[in-house]
Amino acid sequence: MLQRRICILTDGYLDLFSAKTAVGLLRYCPDEVVAVLDQAHAGEKLETLVGVGAGVPIVNSVASALCYRPDHLVLGAVFPGGRLPEAWRTFIVEALAAGMDVVSGLHTRLGDDCELARQAAEGGRRLWDVRAGEAATTVGTGKARQTRAKRILTVGTDCNLGKRLTAIELAGELARRGLRVAFVPTGQTGVMIKGSGVVIDAVVADFVSGTAEEAVLEHGDEDYVVVEGQGALLHPSYSAVALGLLHGVLPDALILCHAPTRRHMRNTDIAMPSLDENVRLHEALLRPIHPARVVGIALNGYGMGERELHEVLSQARVRTGLTVADPVRTGVADLADAVIAG
Amino acid sequence: MLQRRICILTDGYLDLFSAKTAVGLLRYCPDEVVAVLDQAHAGEKLETLVGVGAGVPIVNSVASALCYRPDHLVLGAVFPGGRLPEAWRTFIVEALAAGMDVVSGLHTRLGDDCELARQAAEGGRRLWDVRAGEAATTVGTGKARQTRAKRILTVGTDCNLGKRLTAIELAGELARRGLRVAFVPTGQTGVMIKGSGVVIDAVVADFVSGTAEEAVLEHGDEDYVVVEGQGALLHPSYSAVALGLLHGVLPDALILCHAPTRRHMRNTDIAMPSLDENVRLHEALLRPIHPARVVGIALNGYGMGERELHEVLSQARVRTGLTVADPVRTGVADLADAVIAG
């Protein structure tokens, strides 16, 4: 793969919830990110703000970013519904004018904006709408069950709590143990990191499970396929994607991701259902088709002290009887053991 | 609404499973259907073949259909994946040439076929792709809970067993009792019958629940909103749509539709899960967001003798403790009582 020089745009949204894409790229493509553009935080330290990105400068304009010779502007935050904030258009226009390609994972396609499309074409620049892959037209049939590979899916009690990170870390750990592993991204950040894949929430609803199934079958001969989960079964905004993915992948084992400090599901007034309820529900939705178990819990202990984290991990172990780890703070070795055993 | 003169195309697919759209139109728009086009069954009786459509002739060509002066050709069957069989293109070309509008509920849009689009435009005819509504971009938020109207959703243990019919019959029964009722169609046939609405399985996955939510809120001031369900929670092809709809509508009461003779879910080798398992699962997926109960079972007793049907109804009553009826054979009065009580 070509080494990119990426400037990430997060202006107005530089926090752990909104700037998922930024944080994912900073974590997994650290050598490729040369700057972050965010007026409110220019000059501050990324590490303090979002826990990753040590040494990458935050700048306040496209002009300042140019000192670091970026060749890509990546829109690094997500918004409910995935629409482009009007204010960001200006940055995109300036980036194209400065000779950068622009990468977006929003539902609103940059290529559908006639002025941006014309400007890009005239300047010989690329607008890569990660969500605008080939239109999927495959209905799921349950045939992912036939893969030689053991299929692992990370699922969540909510959105935005570590399903992608857990899948990438787990795939890495299995590979380090000498196993042949494919990581299958299913969201915009995962696809940007890997450089290919289908953003599953942008697929027509009838074809969600079929698209997931195809992605898994493509890697069916590996030892393991680790698939990035999406949404949450009990989140009223994103449950359709979560269930379509579950029934497309038909995993042999699941890792349930959870943020213990969250009292309500994101952007809702709905109290967070328990780990047990989530485990039961995932297993119930697989039972008639391909029975499988949740074999481990990935807790997101961001912001917790050491002692609190270990208390929370140990409570979850007692309560669920499962392997529990924080992939960032305690690593995924135990979860990999559980996947291999389970 | 304008009275249409409809010729329904079912060629090669005139059975109760494939010809859902045909059967729905014959049942609910009987005065508008003037002919059915199906070469294998020309001259036979529709009533014998699919149980509805007495008096509507089956013809073997567009030319023969013209005797009945149709002004619409409606594609009356569905195929897995919703692609247009190549053989049907000829009929469409002939119908356009004969001055008919063409209505399709397939995922493959007739309007995307350049030759058909040009022929229609030149002849001043309309290609109505029912699945090609305005692109939905609304994320579900759970706010359907705020409607004054009591929200009723028909759900199923499988595809294609009476969710639309049950919803239409139930809405009709509630209206006959003097209540203000809106029927919300969500599939191609329902939308064709009502003449408006969004085909939910054609919406981008992220927006399924939001689109359903909007449709319900539009009728929020009625006494009842009865929504046509889609797919099935445990069917690997269509579960995404089923769950997105469930979480968009957030029903106050559900009617579970079931075909007791079906041993496997459609187009799968998966044994049909029990009524109990389905009831539990629907209720579990609503509990944290908006707890609601399955208040009745709509059995599809097509093809059963009287005695067998009544045995099956009575067994289901004993097993589930719920109100059970066959909407076609025994009517929906009991189910309406259960909805009003529940």
Residue A59, strand partner residues:
A37
Residue A154, strand partner residues:
A255
State residue A28's pLDDT score.
93
H or E element, residue A330: none
State residue A87's pLDDT score.
82
Residue B94: CATH number of its domain: 3.40.50.720
For residue B195, name the pLDDT band (cuts at 50, 70, 90): confident
Residue A134 lies in a domain: no
**Contact criterion met (CB below 8 Å) for B241 and B153:** no
**In chain A, how long is the greatest CA-to-CA distance?**
61
Residue of B231, B321, B306 whose CA lies nearest to B276: B321
For residue A136, name the pLDDT band (cuts at 50, 70, 90): confident
Alpha-carbon gap, residue B157 to B316, rounded angstroms: 14
The residues in B 113-152 lying below 8 A from A, measured between CB atoms, are 137-142
Neighbours of A48 (CB within 10 A): 10
Residue B294: CATH number of its domain: 3.40.50.300
How many Cα atoms sit within 13 Å of B160 on the Cβ side? 20
**Contact criterion met (CB below 8 Å) for A257 and A231:** no
- Mutate one of B243, B281, B287 to test the A interface: name it (highest A CB count within 10 A): B243
The full length of chain B comes to 342
Higher pLDDT pick, B138 / B99? B99
**Contact criterion met (CB below 8 Å) for A207 and A224:** no
Domain of A14? Answer: 6-129
Q: Are A331 and A184 members of one domain?
A: yes
pLDDT digits (tens, 9 = 90+) for B94-115: 999 999 999 998 878 899 899 9
The residues in B 278-307 lying below 8 A from A, measured between CB atoms, are 280-281, 284-285, 287-289
Q: Are B225 and B336 members of one domain?
A: yes
**Contact criterion met (CB below 8 Å) for B264 and B241:** no
The full length of chain A comes to 342
**Contact criterion met (CB below 8 Å) for A164 and A187:** yes
Residue B1 lies in a domain: no
Chain A touched by B216 (CB under 8 Å)? no
pLDDT digits (tens, 9 = 90+) for B141-192: 999 999 999 999 999 999 989 999 999 999 999 999 999 999 999 998 999 9
Alpha-carbon gap, residue B56 to B52, rounded angstroms: 9
**Least reliable range by pLDDT among A326-330, B95-99, B194-198, B204-208:** B194-198
Determine if the pTM surpasses 0.95.
no
**Contact criterion met (CB below 8 Å) for A184 and A225:** yes
**Contact criterion met (CB below 8 Å) for A298 and A335:** yes
Flag if A239 and B243 touch (Cβ within 8 Å): yes
HEC profile for B192-240? HHHCCCCCHHHCEHHHHHHHHHHHHHCCCCCCEEEECCCCCCCCCCCHH
DSSP class of A67: G
Alpha-carbon gap, residue B111 to B109, rounded angstroms: 5
Q: Are A114 and A221 members of one domain?
A: no
pLDDT digits (tens, 9 = 90+) for A148-167: 999 999 999 999 999 999 99
State residue A208's pLDDT score.
95
Residue B134 lies in a domain: no
Tell me what ipTM this predicted complex has.
Answer: 0.89
Residue A137 lies in a domain: no
Residue A135 lies in a domain: no
How close, in Å, is residue B132 to chain A by CA atoms?
12
Number of domains comprising chain B: 2
Alpha-carbon gap, residue B227 to B250, rounded angstroms: 11
Flag if B241 and A206 touch (Cβ within 8 Å): yes
